[in-house]
Amino acid sequence: MPYDTLQWSVTDHVARLTLARPDRLNSITVQMHGELRHALSRLEAEGARVLVLSGADRAFSAGQDLADPAVTAESDLGDYIAQHYAPLITTLRTLPVPTIAAVNGVAAGAGASLALACDLVVATMSASFLQPFCQLGLVPDSGATWMLPRLVGHARAMGLTLLGDRLTASQAAEWGLIWKAVPDEEFAATIAALAARLAASPTRGLVSTRRALEAAATHTLEEQLALEGDLQRALGRTHDYAEGVAAFLARRPPVFTGR
């Protein structure tokens, strides 16, 4: 189906989902939420093995569009978060394919959370990250208060959220908030190469690795060892594992299918 607020394509098993409201810095509306839900539900049916999430023109996303009538008329912001952002962030973090956030400009508020919900975040040197909620009398949402301290530590998370200062992409990479910041002129080629690499990888193994790393934050060592065993037991029965071993023994490149 055509979308009004998104651009969508799948080529060579790479799904590209672009937030496309450039006149509003790709800020998020209720309509965009609906279109995002629909697009993300298409991944497996269309043969995607990796998702690249980006923004059109000069921004990734400025976050929630405060001029959206559905928001300005909303009597309970908590309900709005529960109905729209909570399921969106949860969906992104549990997709059956690896995800890349290609941050080409400012990622603010919920826009930053969308990026950080992806498995890998790569940004242009000119990009930046911003938590402006302190300027509105609100608490950071869309999972920001969960993700930020885990990624950069308590002290830096407090500084980012209480002061609302802009964080450059290079600083974000240095702090461990994102995977990498690259020169603007190398950005498109970097994203294309990374997406192609992940699309050719053993998808189920990558997604299981995501699951294991996230579980480690609350598990004891014994619980984590048990989870690793369970995941290896399941992955050891996959076609990709058999192919990986066969390719290793034959000293040839593996051909993974995600099965």
pLDDT digits (tens, 9 = 90+) for 118-129: 999 999 999 999
Can you tell me the distance from the alpha carbon of 219 to that of 117, in angstroms, rounded to the nearest whole number? 21
What region, left, alpha or beta, does residue 78 occupy, with left being phi > 0 and alpha being psi -120 to 50 degrees?
A: alpha
Cα gap 72→244, rounded to integer Å:
53
- Residues with Cβ < 8 Å from 127, sequence gap 6 or more? 60, 103, 104, 105, 106, 107, 168, 169, 181
Which residue, 68, 145, 59, is CA-closest to 108?
Answer: 59
Q: Kindly report the average pLDDT of the chain as a whole number.
A: 96
Q: Where are the alpha helices (DSSP H) in 176-258?
A: 187-199, 203-215, 221-235, 239-250
Reduced DSSP (H G I as helix, E B as strand, rest coil) percent helix, strand, coil of the chain, to 5: 50, 15, 35
Question: Which value, in Å, is the radius of gyration of the alpha carbons in the chain?
Answer: 19
Q: What is the pLDDT of residue 70?
A: 80
Residue type, 48: A
Q: Taking 70 as the threshold, does the pLDDT of residue 155 lie above it?
A: yes
Q: What is the pLDDT of residue 188?
A: 98
Q: Is-above-0.85 flag for pTM? A: yes
pLDDT tens, residue by residue, 182-193: 999 999 999 999
According to the model, what pLDDT value does residue 73 have?
A: 62
Rounded Cα distance between 114 and 89, Å, is 7
- Say which DSSP state 64 is in: B
Average pLDDT, integer, range 170-189? 98
Dihedral sign from CA coordinates of 44, 48, 53, 58 = negative
Tell me the C-alpha distance between 189 and 167, whole Å. 24
- Helix axis angle for 30-40 and 86-93, nearest 10°, is 30
Whether the predicted pLDDT of 74 surpasses 80: no
Beta bridge partners of 11: 14
CA-nearest of 236, 70, 43, 214 to 143 is 214
| The pLDDT of residue 94 is above 90 | yes
Whether the CB-CB separation of 109 and 133 falls below 8 Å is answered with yes
Any idea which residue has 């950069």 for tokens?
A: 152
Which residues, in sequence order, are CB contacts of 189 under 8 Å at separation 6+? none
Q: What is the pLDDT of residue 17?
A: 98
Count of beta carbons in the 10 Å neighbourhood of residue 140: 23
